[in-house]
């Protein structure tokens, strides 16, 4: 006889996570590798004595970071959310933390129930290397034409086939996604005597969902436009007239990518 608890006896939770991806081989559990999913599963087992299955709002790449990743799990024993969060944080390593634990509706699925996701990509226009930002931003040489990047970014907004920018998480799945906004902000960095002013550009994309590699390809293409290595019309054509085969777009490195926020319907408590 199975000792699995009936579905209506389980207690579902939504866990909002923040993690520094520098020391992880991405989100998804992999044998012999340190991953965020594997680390969280071990912490849940240590605290609750239960082996659970996790759902995640998205699968971040090796080296990418998260500020609002959401994972769903169901436990046989009901926990006060605050106590569950504190207990997990007591055993989790320093580079991952549960910032919120909340009861979730029955059948909660962190990916399927999400209605929007927000990613940010940080680019530094800087000649010399950075000791502080080396794990959290992509350093490029030369000034970025922010006006050109903003003009072409507007062409990405709307519902388009983004096959040129990534692949579906499911074999044969749709590559059509709805991008709600693409915003670029320039942040001034500390000025030093004798060194030209330098800045960081934050690229933020909000969409209903992302293809694998989509955000890094968008960031890489926008930076190529900003550096004058790609024409804005070329990038815009990739969503207006998607090519039959995925082109060799520049892909931004993972360490500048920050998963920022996941949005759910009001019926899902976070």
> How do residues 242-262 score in pLDDT, each as one tens digit?
887 788 889 999 999 999 999
Per-chain mean pLDDT for the chain: 91
pLDDT tens column, 201-232:
999 999 999 999 999 999 999 999 999 999 99
Strands 116-125 and 11-19, by their bridges, are unpaired
195: confidence class by pLDDT, cuts 50, 70, 90: low
pLDDT at 171: 85
**Contact status, residue 84 vs residue 101, Cβ threshold 8 Å:** yes
71: confidence class by pLDDT, cuts 50, 70, 90: very high
Q: Which structural domains are found in the chain, ordered by start? A: 7-112 (3.30.70.580), 116-262 (3.30.70.660)
Catalytic annotation, pick one of 8, 61, 80, 145: 61
- Residue closest to 155 by CA, chosen among 248, 227, 234, 251: 234
267: confidence class by pLDDT, cuts 50, 70, 90: low
- Residue closest to 227 by CA, chosen among 106, 104, 103, 142: 142
Distance, CA of 252 to CA of 59 (rounded, Å) = 17
Q: Is 228 left (phi over 0), alpha (psi -120 to 50) or beta?
A: left
The two structure tokens encoding residue 126:
């800087």
Identify the helix (H) or strand (E) that includes residue 204: strand 199-207
Distance, CA of 227 to CA of 221 (rounded, Å) = 10
Average pLDDT over residues 137-146: 91
Whether 61 is catalytic is yes
pTM of the model as a whole: 0.90
- pLDDT reading at 197 higher than 60: no
From residue 114, give the alpha-carbon distance in Å to each of 23, 59, 68, 95: 27, 14, 12, 25
Percent of the chain with pLDDT over 90: 79
Average pLDDT over residues 89-98: 98
- pLDDT reading at 120 higher than 90: yes
Percent of the chain with pLDDT over 70: 91
1: confidence class by pLDDT, cuts 50, 70, 90: very low
169: confidence class by pLDDT, cuts 50, 70, 90: confident
Average pLDDT over residues 167-191: 88
Residues 6+ apart with CB under 8 A from 210: 58, 117, 119, 166, 177
Q: State in Å, rounded, how far the first CA of the chain is from the last one.
A: 35
128: confidence class by pLDDT, cuts 50, 70, 90: confident
Burial class of residue 245, CB neighbours in 10 A (0-12, 13-18, 19+): exposed
pLDDT at 141: 87
2: confidence class by pLDDT, cuts 50, 70, 90: very low
pLDDT at 269: 47
**Contact status, residue 57 vs residue 111, Cβ threshold 8 Å:** yes
Average pLDDT over residues 24-35: 95
Burial class of residue 89, CB neighbours in 10 A (0-12, 13-18, 19+): middle
Strands 96-103 and 11-19, by their bridges, are antiparallel
């Amino acid at each position: 006889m199975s000792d699995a608890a009936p579905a209506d006896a389980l207690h579902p939770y939504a866990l909002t996570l923040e993690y520094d991806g520098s020391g992880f081989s991405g989100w998804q559990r992999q044998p012999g590798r340190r991953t965020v999913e594997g680390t969280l599963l071990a912490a849940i087992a240590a605290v609750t004595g239960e082996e659970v299955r996790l759902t995640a709002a998205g699968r971040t790449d090796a080296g990418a970071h998260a500020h609002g990743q959401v994972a769903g799990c169901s436990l046989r024993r009901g926990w006060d959310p605050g106590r569950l969060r504190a207990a997990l944080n007591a055993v989790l390593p320093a580079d991952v933390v549960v910032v919120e634990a909340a009861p979730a509706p029955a059948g909660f699925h962190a990916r399927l129930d999400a209605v929007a996701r927000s990613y940010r990509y940080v680019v530094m226009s800087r000649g010399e290397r950075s000791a502080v930002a080396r794990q959290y931003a992509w350093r490029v040489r030369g000034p970025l034409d922010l006006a050109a990047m903003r003009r072409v970014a507007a062409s990405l907004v709307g519902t388009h086939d983004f096959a040129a920018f990534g692949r579906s998480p499911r074999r044969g799945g749709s590559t059509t996604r709805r991008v709600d906004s693409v915003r670029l902000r320039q942040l001034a960095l500390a000025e030093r005597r004798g060194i030209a002013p330098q800045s960081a550009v934050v690229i933020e994309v909000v969409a209903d969902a992302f293809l694998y590699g989509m955000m890094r390809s968008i960031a890489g293409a926008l930076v190529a436009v900003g550096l004058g290595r790609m024409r804005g019309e070329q990038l815009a054509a990739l969503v207006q007239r998607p090519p039959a085969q995925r082109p060799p777009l520049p892909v931004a490195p993972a360490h500048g990518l920050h998963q920022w926020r996941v949005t759910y319907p009001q019926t899902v408590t976070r």
